[in-house]
């Protein structure tokens, strides 16, 4: 099973890998507000590592809060939708294999509950890297959560 995980923030964190096989191919960040940059990231990193869409699961971190005002809400919805469209259109991943993951679910699983430094340390530990960025760390931890727990 291949997993693509995305934290669709202003600075979108992402990773691609097979956490059950303990291999993480690649991860990084890109501008979550620029659909063209998101598309380039998907093409450059996702398509080259995903050879069988039917064996691929895409995880998009859901928003657990709503900002004040319509503009803020639209921005959050648009960021997630960009990645959903890329998963379906560019990668051909079946809709049933695209999952919206609540941050509280994977954070509770690892007992980090929003502690950004603990999340980053956990991501550094599983990737054996020291340069993991905050949003990238969220995507990495979400992928490992899904691989070990799954979505009920």
Q: What is the pLDDT of residues 22-79, one digit of tens each?
A: 666 788 898 888 888 888 888 888 877 777 788 889 998 887 555 566 666 677 777 7
Is residue 119 very low, low, confident or very high in pLDDT (cuts 50, 70, 90)?
very high
Q: For residues 42 and 69, what is the distance between their CA atoms, to the nearest angstrom?
A: 30
Sorted by sequence, the CB contacts under 8 Å of residue 55 that are 6+ apart come out as 1, 2
Residue 24: burial class (beta carbons within 10 Å; 0-12, 13-18, 19+): buried
- pLDDT score of 112 more than 90: yes
Compute the C-alpha angle 8/9/15, nearest 5°: 50
Nearest of 109, 122, 121, 120 to residue 150 by alpha carbon: 109
Q: What is the pLDDT of residues 79-105, one digit of tens each?
A: 777 777 777 777 788 888 889 888 889
> What was the pLDDT predicted at 94?
87
Task: Tell me the two tokens of residue 82.
Answer: 């960009």
The secondary structure of 35-82 as a DSSP string is HHHHHHHIIIIIITT-S-GGGEEEEEEPP-S--SSHHHHHHHHHHHHH
pTM confidence score: 0.84
């Amino acid at each position: 099973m291949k997993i693509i995980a995305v934290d669709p923030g202003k600075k979108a964190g992402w990773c691609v890998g097979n956490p059950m096989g303990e291999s993480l191919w690649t991860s990084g960040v890109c501008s979550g507000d620029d659909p063209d940059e998101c598309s380039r990231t998907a093409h450059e990193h996702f398509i080259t590592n995903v050879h069988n869409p039917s064996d691929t699961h895409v995880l998009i971190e859901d928003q657990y809060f709503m900002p004040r005002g319509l503009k803020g809400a639209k921005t959050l919805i648009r960021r997630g939708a960009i990645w959903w469209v890329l998963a379906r259109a560019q990668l051909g991943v079946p809709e049933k294999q695209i999952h919206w993951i609540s941050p509280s679910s994977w954070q509770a699983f690892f007992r980090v509950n929003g502690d950004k430094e603990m999340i980053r340390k956990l991501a550094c530990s599983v990737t054996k890297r020291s340069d993991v960025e905050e949003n990238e760390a969220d995507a990495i931890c979400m992928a490992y959560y899904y691989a070990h727990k799954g979505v009920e």
